[in-house]
Structure 1
Amino acid sequence: MAQSALLIIDVQTSFLHRPYWSEADLPPFKQALTALIEGCRQRGALLVDIFHDDGEWPFALDSGLVTRLPFLTHTADVTVYKHVHNALTESGLHAWLQERRIKHLIIAGLRTEQCCETTARVASDLGYRVTFVTEATLTFPMTHAGRAVSTAELKFHTETVLIDRFAAIRDVSGCLAELTAAD
């Protein structure tokens, strides 16, 4: 039985309806996430689709937008819905993973510094070994105190606060190489 699971967090159509949506970083994200999903499946890792449902349009189930972005075609081993920023505390996912004796979580999806990072921190606190695949995450520029923060800066900050504390930081090839070595 697999000891690893890939968490595909919030890669959902809801985001297309947010004012900050941008396709600037979408092509490399799509390529990285698709390669990660295919590689994880080939190596026996479980695939977990996680969707954010906060009850408000466009993140409400009844909006019809809490569905995968169209480029995703994989078959998930389980689909869960979360109502908070992390995927583990109230979605039933933690129990599902424990039942399957999953010890290692691979994090990918939307948004790098929000739901992906928060899930990595909680997963670490719950005792999982965590691999954060930054190139298979997507985020959008933000502004704080009049200063624009680029996606590259957000991703760098996330890596900085996670590395050696909450998660190993890997690119897709590094993550897949580790899964192969673990077999």
Structure 2
Amino acid sequence: MSKSALIVIDVQDSFLHRPFWSDVELPRYRSNQLALIAGAQARGVPVVYILHQNLDGDGPFSAASGFVKPMAWLPDAASVTFTKHVHNAFTDTGLQAWLDARGIEHLIISGIRTEQCCETTTRVGSDLGYEVDFVSEATLTFAMTHPLSGRVYSPQEITAKTELVLHERFASIRTVAAVLARLDAEVCSHA
């Protein structure tokens, strides 16, 4: 039984209805996300889908919107799906109990948005004692404008900042290929 789990965060239709949505980076992200999911499944690693639902309001993240569901291209691959109401995937979701009941010690983080729910889940997961691999090439984010300077930061700049602040503090920054190689090595060491 694998001691790893792949966490796929907020890959949901809600984002398609946000004003900042851009599909410029989507082909690269989708390819990497699908490769990571397929690789995890092939190695017997559970895949956990996390969806975000706001408890108040009527926007695209509300239950009433009908958009709090996986994007159409995401495979029906989840071992389990949890719904969160805050930025991290642990608070009030049951995720930690589910992971602990299965002896999971290692988390592989992917999904949407790199610097928001993916980064926050990484930090909380690390603080809870999990070993975390952050697969930034299997995360997606969007350009953002600084509130004081007005400077626009590209998705690549935001991702680089996230990698910088997480690496060797809260996670190891890995590629899809490196994570899958690590999973293969774990299987061989337990054989």
TM-score class, shorter-chain normalisation, is: over 0.9
Instruction: Tell me the equivalent position of 1:42.
Output: 42
| Partner deviation per Cα, 1:114-134 (whole Å, 9 max, x = no partner) | 000000000000000000000
Aligned length: 183
Structure 1 residue 48: Cα displacement: 0.3
Contact 1:37 1:74 in 2 (8 A): no
Structure 1 residue 62: Cα displacement: 2.2
1:85 alignment partner, SS class = coil
Distance 2:18 2:91 in 1: 26
Contact 2:32 2:137 in 1 (8 A): yes
Q: How does 1:82-93 map to 2 (within 5 A)?
A: 82-93=84-95
Question: Residue 138 in 1 paired to residue 140 in 2?
Answer: yes
Instruction: Tell me the equivalent position of 1:157.
Output: 161
Instruction: Tell me the equivalent position of 1:77.
Output: 79
Distance 1:76 1:10 in 2: 13
Instruction: Tell me the equivalent position of 1:127.
Output: 129
Question: Residue 19 in 1 paired to residue 14 in 2?
Answer: no
Q: How does 1:113-124 map to 2 (within 5 A)?
A: 113-124=115-126
Structure 1 residue 113: Cα displacement: 0.1
1:159 alignment partner, SS class = helix
1:101 alignment partner, SS class = coil
Letter in 2 for 1:179: L
User: Percent identity over the alignment?
Assistant: 55
Letter in 2 for 1:160: L
Question: Residue 181 in 1 paired to residue 185 in 2?
Answer: yes
Distance 1:94 1:142 in 2: 31
1:22 alignment partner, SS class = coil
| Partner deviation per Cα, 1:24-76 (whole Å, 9 max, x = no partner) | 10000000000000001111111001000013321012211001111111321
Distance 1:18 1:2 in 2: 37
Contact 2:11 2:112 in 1 (8 A): yes
Instruction: Tell me the equivalent position of 2:52.
Output: 52
Distance 1:180 1:141 in 2: 35
- 5+ long unaligned stretches in structure 1: none
2:23 alignment partner, SS class = coil
Structure 1 residue 23: Cα displacement: 0.4
Distance 1:154 1:75 in 2: 29
Distance 1:143 1:13 in 2: 23
Distance 1:182 1:101 in 2: 15
Contact 2:37 2:77 in 1 (8 A): no
Structure 1 residue 90: Cα displacement: 1.3
Larger Rg: 2
Distance 1:163 1:43 in 2: 25
Contact 2:4 2:46 in 1 (8 A): yes
Structure 1 residue 2: Cα displacement: 1.7
| Partner deviation per Cα, 1:51-105 (whole Å, 9 max, x = no partner) | 0001332101221100111111132110000000000121110111111110000
- 1:66 pairs with one of 65, 68, 81: 68
